[in-house]
Structures are given as C-alpha cells and as structure tokens.
C-alpha cells in the first residue's frame, strides 16, 4: 500500500485533529497532550511537530472545528423548523443546548474559562464563533418585523452603551433597536449560563432529575418575557 506523501500528510493532519478531539473529551483542553497524540499515531513525540506548530495551534484548530460544528447544528435546526420566529428561536436554543450536552469538552473550550496560557487568535475564530449569535439576532429581527416583540420600552440608559448596541445590530444586519439588542444579549447570556451550569454540573448531580426539563421551563420563561 503506497500512499503518496501529500495523501499521507493530509491524512495525518486530519487524524491529529480527530485524536485531539478525543483527548479533549477525555482530559479537557488544559490537559491536551501532543505526546499522547503522537503515541496513538505510533510516532515519536517530536514528529508530530511536522504537522502542528504547537499545542496552541492544535487548540485553535479544535476551537474552529467546534465553532463550525456547533454553528452547523444550530443553523440546521432552524432550517428544519417552521412556524413563527419565536418558535424557531426556541428550536435554535434547544439545538445549542443539545450540542453542548453532547460535546461538553468542546463547549468548555468555546465558552468556559479560558485555557491558561492560550489566547484564541480572533482573526481565525471570531468568524465561526459568531454564527450562533447571528442566528439569534436574525430570528429576533424577524420577530421584530412581524411586530411580535415587546422589548421596546425606554432605551437603556447611557449613550455609549446605546451606541455599542446599535453597532452590534448594524454588524449583524439586524433591524433591531437598542432595547431589542439588549434583550437579545440577555437571552444569549441566559443561554450560556443555563447550558454552562448543566454541562459543568453547577448544581449537584442530585438536585434535578431531568436537566432538560429545567432548561425547557426556564426557556419558555425567558421567551415569555421577550415576546408578547
């Protein structure tokens, strides 16, 4: 079996990321070990540096594939869903939770505490990292245009804050005013908190028989406070 050099290169590149994900889910991001990956590939430790610049570089690759997979899952779920924007919003958030529960280590890498010495390079990670929030803003925008949003009250105080909120709406091309974006932020914030608590086992394991039920109950509460 003769594999050309380019083929083998590509193959190993992929295997390394795959094994990285396996290790991620076993030992966590902070304990990710290039040497362990090399061992599983029957390579000597130094050889793996032909394919990965450094441990941080591998971490970045893992961040990107995780963001993309999560974004894919959320986008696919709303593409499959029908009904009013609020219902599809709920679908998207449920998809977010499901992916996180299925991939706790990846979720921790994306939204958990930062890995000590590591800083994700924004120029490579922000694009895939904003897919989910983009979906949320798009659906809220649809709801606003349908007139089923009740958020518009007095705009949040503070001109610099309002400017930042408007900048977000503009960046994502959402037809939302300041109060709407603030509400979206609250929703996003709550979602991260809820999923984080569940995935990181913030309540003890014994407090809730069905974590999905408490997520669902909280979700309808949050959405009720939003629409009308």
Partner DNA sequence: GATTTTCAAGAGCACCGCTCTCGGTTATGG
Partner DNA sequence: CCATAACCGAGAGCGGTGCTCTTGAAAATC
Tell me the window of 25-33, 36-44, 64-72, 77-85 that interacts with a copy of itself (CB under 8 A): 25-33
Q: Which tokens belong to 99?
A: 């992916």
- Per CB under 7 A, 56 contacts DNA: yes
Stretch that binds DNA, among 38-46, 63-71, 90-98, 99-107 (CB under 7 A): 38-46
Footprint of a copy of itself on 178-217 (CB under 8 A): 182-183, 185-186, 188-194, 196-197, 200-202, 204, 207-210, 213-214, 217
Integer CA distances (angstroms), 175 to 54, 149, 165, in order:
42, 12, 12
Nearest-approach distance from CB 26 to DNA, in angstroms: 12
**Up-side HSE of residue 189: CA atoms within 13 Å toward CB?**
6
Q: How many residues of this chain bind DNA (CB under 7 A)?
A: 25
Contacts of 222 (CB under 8 A, 6+ apart): 186, 187, 190
Is there a contact between 112 and 200 (Cβ–Cβ < 8 Å)? yes
Query: Out of 16, 19, 36, 95, which residue is the one contacting DNA (CB under 7 A)?
Result: 36
User: How far is the CA of 173 from the CAs of 140, 167, 177, in angstroms?
Assistant: 12, 10, 12
User: Quick one: DSSP state of residue 227?
Assistant: B
> Which residues contribute to the site for a copy of itself (CB under 8 A)?
27-31, 108-109, 111-117, 122, 126, 156-158, 160-161, 163-164, 167-168, 182-183, 185-186, 188-194, 196-197, 200-202, 204, 207-210, 213-214, 217-218, 221-222, 225
């Amino acid at each position: 079996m003769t594999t050309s050099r380019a083929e083998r290169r590509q193959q190993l590149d992929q295997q390394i990321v795959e094994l990285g994900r396996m290790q991620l889910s076993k030992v966590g991001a902070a304990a990710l070990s290039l040497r362990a990956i090399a061992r599983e590939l029957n390579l000597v430790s130094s050889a793996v540096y032909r394919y990965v610049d450094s441990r941080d570089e591998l971490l970045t690759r893992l961040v990107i594939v995780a963001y993309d997979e999560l974004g894919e899952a959320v986008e696919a779920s709303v593409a499959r869903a029908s009904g009013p924007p609020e219902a599809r919003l709920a679908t998207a958030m449920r998809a977010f939770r499901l992916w996180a529960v299925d991939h706790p280590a990846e979720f921790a890498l994306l939204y958990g505490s930062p890995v000590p010495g590591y800083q994700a390079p924004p120029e490579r990670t922000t694009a895939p990292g904003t897919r989910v929030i983009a979906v949320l803003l798009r659906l809220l925008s649809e709801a606003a245009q349908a007139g089923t949003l009740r958020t518009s009250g007095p705009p949040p105080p503070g001109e610099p804050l309002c400017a930042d909120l408007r900048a977000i709406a503009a960046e994502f091309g959402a037809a939302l005013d300041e109060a709407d974006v603030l509400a979206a932020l609250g929703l996003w914030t709550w979602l991260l908190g809820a999923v984080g608590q569940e995935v990181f086992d913030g309540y003890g394991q014994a407090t809730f028989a069905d974590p999905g039920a408490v997520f669902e109950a909280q979700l309808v509460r949050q959405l009720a406070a939003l629409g009308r």
